[in-house]
Chains A and B, each alone.
Chain A
């Protein structure tokens, strides 16, 4: 039996990384997002649609140049942690370190605080955008990868989950995804990114859909059958006519990303998580 050496990561470094991520993710959108919007703008059939896509591109460049959030809705701080099992965190509690970074980042970056502490009765703003929503996976190795995907409310509200039966099959999934985007119409700030989670169970499918949204925009699922379904769905969605901002056109979605997981013999859970054209996310590995 070998004894694996533990690597120490200071909680303070995690908080610092979170602070940086909050500001940077909201102001500096991934390059592939802009390239993707440019490509769709060139092919957009509607003149107004093209005009809207040009405005969006101008906005995203302005945000990076002046370090302003591209969208005022700087969202809930959704954090994916991939924590190497050979890491030991020193200093203080991991969750508190993440929230400390969110608190500082949202303050220093002039980002909007959009969290209420209790959903139904008081709905009082916590004023510092905490708590973050944290999903942790324990993985091999001695690193900590932090991915932040600030998630706005508009697109999130247009998301949905269906517990289908296996007989519904590919056709059932296809119909559900397309119908979800059609029903959402102009609300989620199209052109959207469509995150689809297939399999798992009632709580895993939506998490897969959310993870699908942090893939580089336009990347393909490594499984060719799923990659083909992504292409097919994107084509079908862009025939809906919704277009940029719902004003009509051929660019309703910029990408469809599907993630899947094993599931029960009786089940076919499907979740659709929509993201707007801003679709911010960024990672740091410590």
Chain B
């Protein structure tokens, strides 16, 4: 059974999540991928204010397809998270509590998740039309010039996710392979 959770993620919610859990996430999430991360980190280095408040927030690594008329967003599945690994620990230092993407994270990112009590979720990659159905609104809040890579504020309802990395350092990808590997 999937757990229902809401954003911003409370410390209590975060503590209850374990690698392998299936969750349905409701609330605001922000989109950001490579180019937006690069800009956010540059602002942090310069000591400037960020265009979004990261406290307790969840970042979804996605570059959506354009919305058809009448839709809030186009197909919007996760992108590969490891490309954001160089930036993620700094964003966690600034309050980010959750990340949604797909694929493995580096040891540095997993250590930072334990340290900052953040979680990493995976959405089903390539199920992008289906994921888009769970996104109820979307607006660009920064970096419009980046096109699909702009930062968007999304409101999602019951977005189906898997907990990959929890605050105890456990990882679903490692557990999955260990369970089913035959050679």
Decide whether A and B are members of one complex. Answer: yes
- Give residues in A with beta carbon < 8 Å to B: 45-46, 48, 52, 55-56, 58-59, 62-63, 66, 68-74, 110-114, 123, 125, 127, 153-154, 157, 185-187, 189, 236, 239-243, 245-250, 276-278
- The answer to whether B146 has its CB under 8 Å from any CB of chain A is yes
Q: Is the CB of A247 within 8 A of B162?
A: yes
- The answer to whether B51 has its CB under 8 Å from any CB of chain A is no
**A to B CB contacts below 8 Å, 15 in the list:** A46-B179, A62-B129, A70-B75, A71-B126, A72-B76, A72-B132, A73-B77, A112-B64, A112-B148, A154-B79, A185-B104, A185-B173, A241-B177, A246-B122, A249-B176
- Give residues in B with beta carbon < 8 Å to A: 22, 35, 62-68, 74-77, 79-80, 82, 102-104, 122, 124-130, 132-133, 146-149, 160, 162, 172-173, 175-183
Nearest to B162 among chain A residues (CB) is: A247
Q: Is the CB of A71 within 8 A of B75?
A: yes
Of A110, A236, A276, the contact of B67 (CB 8 Å cutoff): A110
Q: Is the CB of B127 within 8 A of A55?
A: yes
Q: Is the CB of B65 within 8 A of A186?
A: no
Nearest to A111 among chain B residues (CB) is: B65
For B127, list chain A residues within 8 Å (CB). 55-56, 58-59
For A113, list chain B residues within 8 Å (CB). 147-148
Question: How far is A187 from B61 in the complex, measured between Cα atoms in Å?
Answer: 13
Q: Is the CB of B177 within 8 A of A72?
A: no
Nearest to B179 among chain A residues (CB) is: A248
- Closest Cβ of chain A to B180, distance in Å, is 4
For A52, list chain B residues within 8 Å (CB). 124
Q: Is the CB of A276 within 8 A of B129?
A: no
Question: How far is A46 from B35 in the complex, measured between Cα atoms in Å?
Answer: 36
Q: Which 7 A-B pairs have the closest CB atoms?
A: A248-B176, A241-B181, A241-B180, A187-B103, A189-B125, A59-B127, A239-B183
- Closest Cβ of chain A to B7, distance in Å, is 21
For A70, list chain B residues within 8 Å (CB). 75, 126, 128-129
For B22, list chain A residues within 8 Å (CB). 48
For B77, list chain A residues within 8 Å (CB). 71-73
Q: Is the CB of A72 within 8 A of B63?
A: yes
Question: How far is A68 from B176 in the complex, measured between Cα atoms in Å?
Answer: 31
Question: How far is A239 from B180 in the complex, measured between Cα atoms in Å?
Answer: 8
Question: How far is A245 from B178 in the complex, measured between Cα atoms in Å?
Answer: 15
Question: How far is A213 from B122 in the complex, measured between Cα atoms in Å?
Answer: 26
For B76, list chain A residues within 8 Å (CB). 72
Of A62, A247, A276, the contact of B172 (CB 8 Å cutoff): A247
Nearest to A278 among chain B residues (CB) is: B126
Q: 13 more A-B contacts (CB under 8 A) besides A112-B75, A125-B146, A157-B80? A: A69-B74, A69-B129, A73-B77, A110-B74, A112-B65, A127-B147, A189-B125, A241-B181, A245-B125, A246-B102, A247-B176, A249-B180, A250-B180
For B124, list chain A residues within 8 Å (CB). 52, 55-56, 59, 245
Question: How far is A245 from B77 in the complex, measured between Cα atoms in Å?
Answer: 12
For A154, list chain B residues within 8 Å (CB). 79-80, 102-103, 125
Question: How far is A111 from B122 in the complex, measured between Cα atoms in Å?
Answer: 23
Q: Is the CB of A59 within 8 A of B126?
A: yes
Q: Is the CB of A63 within 8 A of B126?
A: no
- Closest Cβ of chain B to A157, distance in Å, is 7
For B126, list chain A residues within 8 Å (CB). 56, 59, 70-71, 189, 276-278
- Closest Cβ of chain A to B120, distance in Å, is 12
Question: How far is A68 from B68 in the complex, measured between Cα atoms in Å?
Answer: 9
- Closest Cβ of chain A to B48, distance in Å, is 21
- Closest Cβ of chain A to B20, distance in Å, is 8
Nearest to A126 among chain B residues (CB) is: B147
Question: How far is A210 from B23 in the complex, measured between Cα atoms in Å?
Answer: 37
Question: How far is A185 from B126 in the complex, measured between Cα atoms in Å?
Answer: 15
Q: Is the CB of B82 within 8 A of A187?
A: yes
Nearest to A68 among chain B residues (CB) is: B129
For A276, list chain B residues within 8 Å (CB). 125-126
For A236, list chain B residues within 8 Å (CB). 183
